[in-house]
Amino acid sequence: MDLEKFKKTWINQPENSEKLSKVDIYRLTQSKSSSIVKWILIIGILELIFWTSINFITPKSFMEIYKDFNMIGFLNAYTILHYLIIIAFLILFYKNYSSISIIDSTKVLMKKILKVRKTVKYYVYYNLAGLVITNIIITSVFLSKPDTLMKALNPNGVSVEITTVLSVFLIATIVLVLIIFLILWLFYKFTYGKLLKKLNINYLELDKLEKLN
């Protein structure tokens, strides 16, 4: 069924048929919105599983450098807090899905759609901001201990200016973070962004339907 086809037939329909068509359009829009929110939840869960798997397969030797900077406690605390926040978002996604699956008035459904959009946007903002902020903190700590960083980056003691090593490290870190940030942004744009765009279309359809009442 197509929403535009429904709207094109309203003018020539009898009153009772018109009312039925409005109900059908509402139900179709509500069903589509529920499906979209379900996919938001599914993608969020898959994303959590993916990053958890990455953490498990990361070599322990990779974490050794953080011991030299006494950052293991910080990383553990951040990891726990991060997962708690992500799980909280997933709970909100599930509540949004459960809520939007219930038949409500057009106005109530529109408010729920706006709530879903706001929750997803906060989720995306949190992940992108978290990436930048945590890397700024870690990089600042590393640069605050140049001798330790020099030893970690140049274990063989090759003769090289410390300022050169630190400059290369800083530039490489910035480039890497920008690349990861771009990849994440594109991922969110083509997953959550696409779903939110469809959800916005449903919102506009409901808005038109509400104005016809």
Average pLDDT, stretch 41-63? 86
pLDDT given for residue 10 in this prediction: 45
The residue with greater pLDDT, 31 or 183, is 183
pLDDT given for residue 5 in this prediction: 54
The two structure tokens encoding residue 203? 């919102």
To 10 degrees, what angle do helices 106-144 and 15-57 make?
20
Long-range contacts made by residues 65-72, C-beta under 8 angstroms, separation at least 24?
Answer: 65/152, 68/148, 68/151, 68/152, 69/141, 69/142, 69/145, 69/148, 71/138, 71/141
Neighbours of 163 (CB within 10 A): 9
Average pLDDT, stretch 71-95? 94
How high does pLDDT run on average in the chain?
85
Lowest mean pLDDT among 36-50, 156-170, 196-210: 156-170
Average pLDDT, stretch 19-34? 78
Q: Which amino acid is at 37?
A: V
**pTM of the shown model:** 0.83
Domain-wise residue ranges, the chain: 3-212
d(CA 40, CA 36): 6
Half-sphere exposure of 77 (CA within 13 A, CB side): 6
The two structure tokens encoding residue 172? 């490489």
Q: Residues 108-145: pLDDT tens digits?
A: 888 999 999 999 999 999 999 999 999 999 999 999 88
pLDDT tier, 23 (very low <50, low <70, confident <90, very high otherwise): confident
pLDDT tier, 188 (very low <50, low <70, confident <90, very high otherwise): very high
The two structure tokens encoding residue 142? 């590393």
pLDDT given for residue 3 in this prediction: 52
Residue 7 has pLDDT above 70, yes or no: no
Residue identified by tokens 């509500």 is 30
Neighbours of 39 (CB within 10 A): 15
To 10 degrees, what angle do helices 106-144 and 72-100 make?
170
Average pLDDT, stretch 29-40? 91
